[in-house]
Amino acid sequence: MWRVAFEVPEAFTPLFAEIVEPHVDAVSTFELEEGGLWLVECTSYAEPDTSRISMKLAVLAASLGIAEPALTKEPLPPIDWVTKTYLSFPPITAGRFFIHGSHHKKPVPLGKVGLQIEAAMAFGSGEHATTQGCLRAISDLSKVGGFRNALDMGCGSGILAFALAKLRKIPVVGVDIDALSIEIAQENAVLNRVHKLVDLYHGNGYHTAAVRRHGPFDLVVSNILARPLARMAPQLRRALIPGGTAIFSGLLVRQEALVINAHRAQGLHLVRRHRLGDWSTLVMQG
């Protein structure tokens, strides 16, 4: 592959990107300084005709009354994308869980619960602090008995539903508004051998028929965003049995009060919080 790049003033970046696009395979633009120059970066599988590109740049620059941008061209080193992808997703330990992809061939460490999750388009590969916070909170629940059925609201890849099923050996319902996420989660459920315990549904949050059919739940996990969590607090209350436990994440530390207060208004109280960097996971009971 080849790389071609040049810098232009911010106001003219779209014009220059458009004029080089027919001569390369991909064009990206990046801000170099606020209100100043932008980098126009092009990649091409075949060696690009820089003489023709330079001519077009010169004509456009002259018409705009600016200096012709200096053009650089260089070959890019070959990349083993499979290996690069694998190295980008090394195994992760979060609480009692060991999250890994299929490329990890070593045994799961002693005392850990393995979760095989591939990098995909569904949220929840275990990398993000919110997912790790939820897994730590779920790990803490291993010391608490009495859970019989659980709900993963906004399940994404299904990682939290699988963690609950593997650790607690209880039935889990997973719901997501994104149909593709459910397809991916269903495949992951088979990979993790929890498809007999985990039922996954595409639906609109707590309005999903399966939530009413399988509920109420004594444990609800929801890793979405702070404002939707706060907005859905009354629905969570109806889906959770009295005295049940809820784990919330997808929120920043500065958003804790928003989520806590919304659920306190529904009769829940804060039990514990897990903070990883700027992100927070809350454990509440009601």
pTM tops 0.85, yes or no? no
Weakest-pLDDT range from 97-111, 156-170, 236-250: 97-111
Domain boundaries, the chain: 2-75, 124-285
Tokens read off for 251: 């929120």
Span 31-86, pLDDT tens digits: 887 778 999 999 998 999 999 999 999 999 999 999 999 999 999 877 654 455 54
111 confidence band (pLDDT: 50, 70, 90): confident
* pLDDT tens per residue, range 83-100: 555 455 677 888 889 888
pLDDT tens digits for range 150-209: 999 999 989 999 999 998 899 999 999 999 889 999 999 999 999 999 999 999 999 999
Amino acid at 48: P
Question: Among residues 97, 130, 137, which one has the least CA distance to residue 116?
Answer: 97
Q: Which fold has domain 124-285?
A: Rossmann fold (3.40.50)
How far apart are the C-alpha atoms of 258 and 252, rounded to whole Å? Answer: 10
Only one residue has tokens 């990883």, namely 276
Structure tokens belonging to residue 34: 């606020």
CA distances from 73 to 21, 39, 96 (A): 15, 14, 49
CATH assignment of 2-75, among 3.40.50.720, 3.30.465.10, 3.30.70.120, 3.40.50.300: 3.30.70.120
> Which residues are registered as beta bridge partners of 217?
240
